[in-house]
Each structure stands twice: as structure tokens, then as C-alpha cells.
Amino acid sequence: MHIAKLKEYNGIIVGFDLICWATITPMGVFWVASQKSKRRAIYTAQMVFILLVTMAAVSVWVLVFFKRGEKVSTDGERAQVAFACLLCCLPLMALATGTTRRMTDGHPLRSYPVIYFAVLGCLLVPRIMQAEMVNLSSKIASSLLFALYDLLGDLAVPYVDALRFNLRRSFAFLRRSSTRHRSTRRTPETPAGSTTEKPHMDSTRVPPHVSQSRSSTCVASKEEASVSPSFQRRISLKALSSLTSVLNLQSTFIAYDYRPRYLRALSDQIHAYNLAESLILLFINLSLIAVDQFVDPSLSGLAERLGGLCLLVAIEMACEIVLFMISVRLHNLPIVRSEDEPGPWRSGWCLCSAPPWLCYSHFCHRSCCSP
């Protein structure tokens, strides 16, 4: 009888459950984790924002693309669903990872594991679609396209950030220069026919350095007003030349005084994305291979599936090697590892163990309230 009355409030209980474990619980966790931070509220808001964006994105991907993937039957249709999911998740992934890179509060090694949720949700549907493909050639072609997509995306991240900084500095410089040039061209307006007598100052009472500074200021303003077209041309050329410096990442980082925290966040993001992608690839394919062998044991089929999986892993490893060679040798970025440090290990294990418990509590509430 009590359970029947409880089922009437199913929507209220489920909504309260979602609010608790999706907003209030992460907010409390991040607030406690930022005890030594000077701006705890900003850090907590940024972390909760990243988590909410990730959860919303994962929900959309699972509800939309999983249902669409269940209706397809050919390898070409599965590839279309996979690439549609990747393209749709690109803005949300850029929003989550960009917020993580621009964070200046909190522990620098305990902020990036939050993007694991976004990466897992982004790559779950494409890898399932790839694993369900029948032909090995389709799997290899899709894996090659996935690897090239990830390689180009990882290489474009520092260039996009450098371009953003260059555009911001260029627009700020143009705004300041135009304001200063406009102020120098202003002259006091006097009505026609009126004469204003300037107060006569005795030159003996004025110090020599004051008269020299006034005369030099007048001369400089006249020269600047006389060469205004060349001055504007020089401003525009400087703005355009600053945009060309984006291609040289090392000089851009030095010129605009990038913080070491940003470089570390960029390195951790690349490691997190590649690690999550490799784990998803292995886990999904090995799970499907185990299920197929349990239903229909076949030694030749097992060897073929394992050989195809090795080819997929080799393609991913080759693209990761190219990525690290370009990042370290060409861009001179500090691609360091944090697996041996205790902070990332604890944060990673806590974040990886949190979703199963949250899902378990959520499904327990749903089972108790379901009719």
C-alpha cells in the first residue's frame, strides 16, 4: 500500500534524484576539493558547468544516435551514424575541453579528469557502430578516418587557442590606437568672430623643462595628425602580421606569456582523449568478441576478429605516434605524463568509480518507483 502511494510521486522522486546527484553532489565535492583555492566559487561553477555540459551531451548522444543506430543494417549506414555523432559532439567537446584549458583556479592536475565523461560519451556510439560492422575492410576504413579526425583535431587545438589570443590582442591594439588617434585630432571649437585672449605667462616664471615638454607635445601631436594615413596603415599591417605568427606556436607562447598551467592542461587533455579512445576501442571489441564466442564458438572466427582488432590498434598507435612527434619535435610543446603522480591517480579512480554508484542509486530509485 505504501509502495502504491509512493508510485504516484514517481516523477517528483526521479527529478529530485537527478537534481541531487547531477548538481548538488558535484557542487559539494568540488567545493570541498577547492579549499586552498582563492576563488572557490569560480572553480566550483566551472567544474559543475563542465559536468552538466557533459551529462547533457551524453544523454542526447545516447537517446538520439543509439536509437538511430539500432535501425541501420549496412556498414555504410553505420559509418554515417558514427560520423554524424562525431560531428554533432564536436561543439560540446570543444566547450568542455576549452573551459578546462582556460581554468586558472584549483589544482592543475585534478581538473582535466572531468572531460573523461565527455570523451566516453562522444566515442561510445561511433565505436559501437564500428564494432558491429560486418566487413573487415569497412572497419579498417572507418578506423583510419576516426584516427585522422582525432589527429587533426588534436593538432588544431593549440593553433585555435593561439589564433584566439592573437585576434584578441589585435582588436585590443586597434581599439586603443583608434581611441588615442581620435583624441589627438580633437580641437576646441570657438564661434566665428570671437577672439579669445590667452593668458600671458612670463617666461621667467616658467621652468625650462616645462616649456620644453609642452613644445615637444605640440610638435608630436602635429606630426601624428599630419601622418594619420600612414599611422593607420602601420596599425593594420601590425595586426595582420600578428595573425601570421600563429603558425609559429613557440614564438606565440613566448610572446603572449602563456602560463605553464595551460601547457600542462593541453598535455593532459591529449593524454586523456587518447587513453579513453584506446580503452573504448579495446573494451567494446573484446566484449563483442567474447559474446560471439560464447554464442557460436569458432577458432577461425576468433583469430579473424583478433587480427582485425590488432590492425585497428596499430592504426590508432601510428596516429598517436605522429601526433606526439609533431607536438614535441615541431611545436616544441611539453607533452609530459602524469601517470606516476599521486594526484591524477586518485582523481581518476574517484571519477571512474563515481558513475557506477550514481547509476546504481538512480536505477534503484527507478525500480522502487516504477509500476
pLDDT score, position 367: 53
Average pLDDT over residues 41-53: 78
First to last CA, the chain: 12
All cell numbers assigned to 100: 578546462
User: Cα–Cα distance between 316 and 146 in angstroms, integer?
Assistant: 9
Residue 177 or 128, more confident? 128
pLDDT score, position 68: 80
pLDDT score, position 105: 73
User: Cα–Cα distance between 27 and 74 in angstroms, integer?
Assistant: 44
pLDDT score, position 243: 46
**Amino acid identity for residue 234 in this structure:** R
Condensed to tens digits (0 to 9), the pLDDT of residues 193-248 reads: 444 444 444 444 444 444 444 444 444 444 444 444 554 555 454 544 544 444 56
Q: Which of 37-41, 186-190, 286-290, 344-348 has the lowest mean pLDDT?
A: 186-190
User: Cα–Cα distance between 144 and 148 in angstroms, integer?
Assistant: 6
**Amino acid identity for residue 204 in this structure:** T
User: Cα–Cα distance between 327 and 341 in angstroms, integer?
Assistant: 22
Q: How many C-beta atoms surround the C-beta of residue 177 within 10 A?
A: 17
pLDDT score, position 123: 80
User: Cα–Cα distance between 141 and 44 in angstroms, integer?
Assistant: 42
267 pLDDT more than 70: yes
| Residue that the C-alpha cell 578516418 belongs to | 145
Mean pLDDT, the chain, rounded, equals: 69
Average pLDDT over residues 256-269: 72
pLDDT score, position 278: 83
Q: Residue 47: which pLDDT band, with cuts at 50, 70 and 90?
A: confident
127 pLDDT more than 60: yes
355 pLDDT more than 70: no
Closest by CA position to 80, among listed 123, 142, 136: 142
Q: Which of 96-105, 146-155, 315-324, 361-370 has the lowest mean pLDDT?
A: 361-370
Q: Which of 24-38, 133-147, 274-288 has the lowest mean pLDDT?
A: 24-38
User: Cα–Cα distance between 98 and 49 in angstroms, integer?
Assistant: 12
Q: Which of 67-81, 213-227, 245-259 has the lowest mean pLDDT?
A: 213-227
User: Cα–Cα distance between 222 and 82 in angstroms, integer?
Assistant: 65
Condensed to tens digits (0 to 9), the pLDDT of residues 308-337 reads: 889 988 988 888 888 888 877 777 666 655
Residue 302 or 118, more confident? 302
pLDDT score, position 219: 41
